[in-house]
Amino acid sequence: MRRLPSLNGLRAFEAAARHGSFTGAAAELHVSQAAVSRMVKLLEERLGFPLFERRANALTLTERGRALHPTLTEAFDAIAHRVDRVSAMRSGPVLTVGLGATFAVRWLIPRLSGFHMAHPEIEIRIATGGGSAPMSDEWTCAVLIGDGRWPGYEAEHLFSSNLQPVCAPSLACTFHRPADLRTATLLHVSHWAADWPRWLAASGAGAPDSNGLSFGSYAMTLQAAIDGVGVALAPQPYIMDDIAAGRLAAPFPLALPMESSWYLVYRATRRGAPGFAAFRDWLFELCAA
């Protein structure tokens, strides 16, 4: 069992020691100077030793007062910090969603305000590292790209997509037929190396004259395309906002079906997680649109 002196007395002493006066402490604590003086006096009587040397127009800490003061300041600061942290905690459901970085930045996040407006009580925490990466048990769910087979998990098909060439509008006007791409700088995603050969074969353009440039993600590849470095081949969900905004243009209409699709993946035990049903319904409505 803790045997503590009066907390009001400790607060009065700590504030008076920090301000160097009973007047400053009284202003901070919204009490009178006399009240502060009395609380400190009662604390000194309880402890059995003085904390201040009182002189005319001066308040000086005793040796014991100097030893006690910093510990109290640290303790009250820690309490105030913890109370602020607890007060800031959300009382509603929290969903952690695993996503590939490109899918998050180029598709979901620009649309996430719609979910927040409809469900302000639900907090969505985005964890990147999804995409084609393994599931994490720390996630409530994930949006992954693949063939729909994740052993031990539920996988609900969200949408399939097509691959389409895109580049800066100023570059797009220089291409007149797919064969023109043979001499262009083609921008590849390293782990989707077969995409460009498939599209070129389907278009009848033939093999390119050079290997082009390779990047580690669609996000980097598309940024290079926006900057006029070359021509990217990307899923339509990743490019439609940039095409609508005029940052990218599609020089050719041919779109090649992707061999993988996007799925909502989660453990069956997560189906009843607070807020999950609302997020799932919103996601399917978004994909259908």
The residue type found at 246 is: G
CB 154 within 8 Å of CB 266: yes
Res. 156 pLDDT band, cuts 50 70 90: very high
Buried b (16+ CB within 10 A) or exposed e, 142-153: bbbbeeeebeeb
Q: Enumerate domains of the chain plus CATH numbers.
A: 7-88 (1.10.10.10), 94-160+261-288 (3.40.190.10), 162-257 (3.40.190.10)
| pLDDT recorded at residue 231 | 96
Question: E strand or H helix at 179, and its extent?
Answer: none
Residues 86-111 have a mean pLDDT of: 81
User: Taking the mean position of all CA atoms in its chain, how far away is CA 174?
Assistant: 40
What's the maximum distance between 2 C-alpha atoms anywhere in the chain?
98
| Cα distance between the two ends of the chain | 63
Residue 141 — φ and ψ, nearest 5°? -160, 175
State whether residue 214 is helix, strand or coil. Answer: strand
Strand partners, 144: 131, 263
Residue 130 CA to residue 137 CA, distance in Å, equals: 12
Q: Which helix (H) or strand (E) holds 187?
A: strand 186-189
245-273 pLDDT tens trace: 999 999 999 999 998 899 999 988 888 88
pLDDT > 70 in the chain, percent: 94
Contact criterion met (CB below 8 Å) for 124 and 141: no
- Tell me, what's the pLDDT at 158? 94
Look up residue 285 and give its two tokens. Answer: 């409505």
- Mean pLDDT confidence for 121-143: 79
Query: Is the pLDDT confidence value at 54 over 80?
Result: yes
Which single residue is written with the structure tokens 């079906």?
A: 257
Over residues 133-155, mean pLDDT: 85
Cα atoms in the 13 Å half-sphere on the side-chain side of 60: 8
Structure tokens at 78: 């820690």
Kindly state the average pLDDT of the residues 229-257.
94
| Model pLDDT, residue 89 | 58
Copy the structure tokens of residue 128: 């990147």
Question: Does residue 85 carry a pLDDT above 80?
Answer: no
Confidence of residue 133 (pLDDT cuts 50, 70, 90): low
Mean pLDDT of the chain: 88
Is the pTM here over 0.75, yes or no?
no
The whole-number average pLDDT for the span 168-175 is 94
Q: What is the rounded distance in angstroms from the CA atom of residue 88 to the CA atom of residue 248?
A: 41
How far apart CA 53 and CA 189 sit, in angstroms, is: 74
On the question of pLDDT at 130 being above 60, the answer is: no
Q: 203-207: long-range contacts (C-beta < 8 A, 24 or more apart)?
A: 203/178, 203/252, 203/254, 204/178, 204/179, 205/177, 205/178, 205/179, 205/181, 206/179, 206/182, 207/182
Give the mean model confidence (pLDDT) for residues 159-169. Answer: 94
Binning pLDDT at 50, 70 and 90, where does residue 1 land? low
